[in-house]
Amino acid sequence: MPTSYPVGKAPWETQNAIKSQSFPVGKAPWETALTPSQAPQRSLADKIWTGLGTLTRPAQEGISGLTSLYTPGPESLVSKIGQDIQAGAQDIEQGNILKGVAKGGLRTAGDIAGAIYAPVGAVIGATGIGKLTEMIGQSIADSKLGNMITDIPAVQDFAIKHPNAAEDFGRALNLVMAAFEK
C-alpha cells in the first residue's frame, strides 16, 4: 500500500532534501533531454491521427467561421448588418447624409454578398490555400518594402482615420464579384 504524505511533508519536499539535491539549471534528471533511442516511440496510428489533424485544421477553421457567420452572436451576419445600419444612421444624424447612406447601404450589401460567398471561401480555405496566402502576405508585410510602405506618414494617417478600410475593401470586392456573376 502506497504511503501518502501531507503536502510539503514528503521526503523529497523537505528543506534538507532540497538542499542536498541541487542541480544546475537544465541538468536535473527530469529536465534532461532524451536521446532519440530513449524517446517514447509514437505508434503509426498516432502519427496518422496527428497528420489528419494537421490536414483537417483548415477545414475546421472554415466550418468555425461559417458557424459564427450564420448563427446568432457578435460575429453573425445579422449583428454585422445591425452595426452597419447603426453606423450609417449616426453619420446621417451628424449631417453626413451621403456618407451615412453609403455606409449603411453599401456595407450591408457587401456583408450580404460576403455571406453568399463565404461557403466558397471556406472550401478554398480548407485546401490550405488560405494559410499559404496568409503566409505570403505576412512575409511581404515583414519585408523591407512592407516596412517602407507602413512607415509612410500618409499611410499611417489613413490607417488611423479609416480603421475599417480593409473590411470595406473586402465588402466592395464582394459587390464587384456579385456584379460580374452570371
**Nearest by Cα to 57 from 135, 134, 126:** 126
- Please give the model's pTM, rounded to 2 decimal places: 0.49
| CB atoms closer than 10 angstroms to residue 177 | 14
pLDDT in tens, 29-57: 666 665 656 666 777 777 776 766 666 67
pLDDT in tens, 102-152: 888 888 888 888 888 888 877 777 777 777 888 888 888 888 888 888 888
Q: Where are the domains of the chain?
A: 57-179
Rg (CA), the chain: 28
Alpha helices in the chain (DSSP H): 15-20, 44-70, 77-93, 97-126, 129-141, 144-150, 153-161, 165-179
